[in-house]
């Protein structure tokens, strides 16, 4: 290749990414620095209680009660966690049973919610039929009040069904959470209708379209549904509907330990970390997918 040709090629390169991004016209450097500073400050305030919780879980007992306190542990240990497991191991219902309860409830509740809500969301988003719009309106209204409003009648209903003091009292109502269906439906509306029509011309029925085409294309929404559902169920103390100790959830048992007073301070700090770490870690790993789903979360009139 001749030199000339090389030069030509270089000239042909239409666009070279500039090293420093061109600034938007309406930004001043001073303003940006002030903003960064402000954001950093607020982020520190927001994160401080969580950092403090984690570090106090790592502190040995004498440091926990030290005054004036230090934010970070001087001699970090995992004693609090091992103490916690010893305490849990000595309890009448074993640790593994509590863990099983929570995992069982979370897993079944999430799976059922995912399947049932996305089936509903699919037809609400992609088909027109009488009652469609009204039903969706009712669902958005249902997002406007908290679960506390319906708690008492729910208790009575579950009682009639004979589900009080069983896992189903937590699992089945979790299937119908309006939030999941709402997000799923909004996300599915973004799918091109032509995709579905093409499949139909090829002779696929609704179920095939649903499982073969729609579901694989809305994976971000799956993740979001799973995360919201796991968060809700993992933190569910279930103390209203479940009385038997052997069916209580892990969070409930852990918080019992936490309320054990001064002697359990170290273990209490460990409990805080154990309880919060699961939702946060799941969120960290699925952040981009959740944000992708939330982009279509808007509530149109």
Site for another protein, residues 217 to 236, rule: CB under 8 A: 228, 231, 235
By CB under 8 A, residue 292 contacts another protein = yes
Q: Give the list of residues 6+ apart from residue 117 with CB closer than 8 angstroms, or none.
A: 175, 176, 177, 180, 181, 184, 225
By CB under 8 A, residue 287 contacts another protein = yes
Let me know: does 102 contact 171? Beta carbons within 8 Å. Answer: no
Q: If binding means CB under 8 A, how many residues of this protein chain bind another protein? A: 91
**H helices present in the chain, as ranges:** 3-12, 29-57, 61-64, 79-90, 95-126, 132-142, 147-161, 168-175, 178-188, 193-201, 206-208, 215-217, 219-234, 250-258, 265-294
By CB under 8 A, residue 35 contacts another protein = yes
* Nearer to another protein (CB atom), residue 191 or residue 294: 294
Among 141, 193, 197, 198, binds another protein (CB under 8 A): 141
Among 49, 76, 212, 260, binds another protein (CB under 8 A): 49
DSSP 19: S
By CB under 8 A, residue 31 contacts another protein = yes
Among 134, 144, 201, 263, binds another protein (CB under 8 A): 144
CA-CA distance, 180 to 117, in Å (whole number)?
A: 7
Q: What's the alpha-carbon Rg for the chain, to the nearest Å?
A: 26
Among 88, 105, 170, 181, binds another protein (CB under 8 A): 181
Let me know: does 237 contact 129? Beta carbons within 8 Å. Answer: no
Site for another protein in 74-113 (CB under 8 A): none
By CB under 8 A, residue 19 contacts another protein = no
Let me know: does 58 contact 76? Beta carbons within 8 Å. Answer: yes
CA-CA distance, 126 to 129, in Å (whole number)?
A: 10
Give min distance, CB of 11 to another protein, in A.
Answer: 27
Distances 222 to 149, 151, 288, 298 between C-alpha atoms, Å:
28, 27, 13, 18
- Secondary structure element (H or E) that encloses residue 137, with its range: helix 132-142
Give min distance, CB of 9 to another protein, in A.
Answer: 30
* Per-residue binder mask for another protein (CB under 8 A), 236-275, x = binder: ----x----------x---x--x-------------x--x
Give min distance, CB of 120 to another protein, in A.
Answer: 4
Site for another protein in 112-131 (CB under 8 A): 116-117, 119-120, 122-124, 127-131
Let me know: does 125 contact 221? Beta carbons within 8 Å. Answer: no
Site for another protein in 150-179 (CB under 8 A): 150-157, 172-173, 175-176, 178-179
Among 2, 26, 194, 244, binds another protein (CB under 8 A): 26
Among 111, 189, 195, 279, binds another protein (CB under 8 A): 279
């Amino acid at each position: 290749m001749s030199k000339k040709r090389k030069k030509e090629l270089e000239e042909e390169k239409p666009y070279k990414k500039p090293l420093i991004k061109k600034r938007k016209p309406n930004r001043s450097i001073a303003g940006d620095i002030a903003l960064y500073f402000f954001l950093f400050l607020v982020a520190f305030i927001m994160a401080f209680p969580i950092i403090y919780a984690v570090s106090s879980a790592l502190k040995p007992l004498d440091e926990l009660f030290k005054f004036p306190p230090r934010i970070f542990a001087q001699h970090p240990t995992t004693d609090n966690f091992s103490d916690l497991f010893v305490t849990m191991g000595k309890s009448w219902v074993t640790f593994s049973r509590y863990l099983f309860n929570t995992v069982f409830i979370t897993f079944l509740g999430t799976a059922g919610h995912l399947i049932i809500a996305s089936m509903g969301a699919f037809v609400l988003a992609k088909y027109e039929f009488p009652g469609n719009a009204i039903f969706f309106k009712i669902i958005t209204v249902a997002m406007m009040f908290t679960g506390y409003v319906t708690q008492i009648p729910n208790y009575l209903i579950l009682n009639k069904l004979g589900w009080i003091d069983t896992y189903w009292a937590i699992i089945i109502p979790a299937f119908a959470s309006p939030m999941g269906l709402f997000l799923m439906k909004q996300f599915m509306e973004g799918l091109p209708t032509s995709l579905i029509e093409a499949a139909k011309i090829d002779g696929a029925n609704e179920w095939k379209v649903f499982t073969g085409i729609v579901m694989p294309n809305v994976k971000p929404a799956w993740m979001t549904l799973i995360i919201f559902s796991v968060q809700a169920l993992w933190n569910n103390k279930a103390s209203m509907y479940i009385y038997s100790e052997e069916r209580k959830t892990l969070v409930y048992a852990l918080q019992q330990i936490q309320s054990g007073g001064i002697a359990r301070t170290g273990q209490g700090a460990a409990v805080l970390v154990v309880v919060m770490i699961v939702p946060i870690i799941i969120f960290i790993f699925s952040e981009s997918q959740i944000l992708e789903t939330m982009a279509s979360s808007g509530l149109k009139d």
